[in-house]
Chain A
Amino acid sequence: AQSVTQPDIHITVSEGASLELRCNYSYGATPYLFWYVQSPGQGLQLLLKYFSGDTLVQGIKGFEAEFKRSQSSFNLRKPSVHWSDAAEYFCAVGAPVNAGNMLTFGGGTRLMVKP
């Protein structure tokens, strides 16, 4: 069974600083990997996803993530954080075809942005 670990429960960064959110996964085959963002009181919005090809994936809102098979990681990055990026971020690993549990989520990282 797949699993996802987000080691940082809370992260605080200053506006304009760079950001890296960590995600480690456990999966027995080539994974499908996702990052979702949840703004306060909102549902989940897909930031980006990886399932093949270039290991550096570009997403919306200036985010990117890099898949590193050797480290079983899929860390999310942004070069310059904006106050509106304050939210909770979830990493998820996707199951293959015909497996009903399509997504397994990490516990989430709550990002706070200092002015």
Chain B
Amino acid sequence: EAQVTQNPRYLITVTGKKLTVTCSQNMNHEYMSWYRQDPGLGLRQIYYSMNVEVTDKGDVPEGYKVSRKEKRNFPLILESPSPNQTSLYFCASSITIRGGETQYFGPGTRLLVL
């Protein structure tokens, strides 16, 4: 089944404790992206990757890192989480970055930073 998977689905952590949220897609997609969803703000892009070893900042990159060493994986790293990073995170992928291309979303990771 074609899908985007994220782990963990739920995470509670404390300020300053490094964490990684994994994202994997099995569709051989070139483009992958991370979003955060906050009430009333919709989804805002954190980072994106156009292909292996090619990543760039989205609208809200502060406090996050990413890497794209393999085509299928795009982990999101919070080196020193803070309470304002409490949010719902979505990973997404699409076959290319061509405009109009459908993005497929993972199920989301709900993060609480105490």
Contact = CB atoms under 8 A, between A and B. Distances in A.
B45 A95 contact: no
Contact of A102 (B42, B48, B105): B48
Interface residues of B, number: 29
Report, as a range, how many residues of chain A touch the other chain.
20 to 34
A92 B43 CA distance: 9
A9 B41 CA distance: 11
Nearest to B41: A107
A42 interface: yes
B97 A103 contact: no
Nearest to A94: B99
B102 A51 contact: no
A42 B88 CA distance: 11
B42 A90 contact: yes
A105 interface: yes
A84 interface: no
Contact of B42 (A51, A97, A107): A107
A102 B93 CA distance: 11
B74 to A, nearest CB: 13
A61 to B, nearest CB: 16
A43 B41 contact: no
Given A44-B92, A94-B100, A102-B103, 17 more contacts: A9-B40, A42-B107, A43-B105, A43-B108, A45-B105, A46-B102, A51-B99, A51-B100, A95-B99, A98-B97, A101-B45, A101-B59, A102-B48, A102-B94, A102-B101, A105-B42, A107-B42
13 contacts: A43-B106, A44-B92, A44-B105, A45-B105, A97-B97, A100-B56, A102-B31, A102-B48, A102-B97, A103-B45, A103-B103, A107-B42, A108-B42
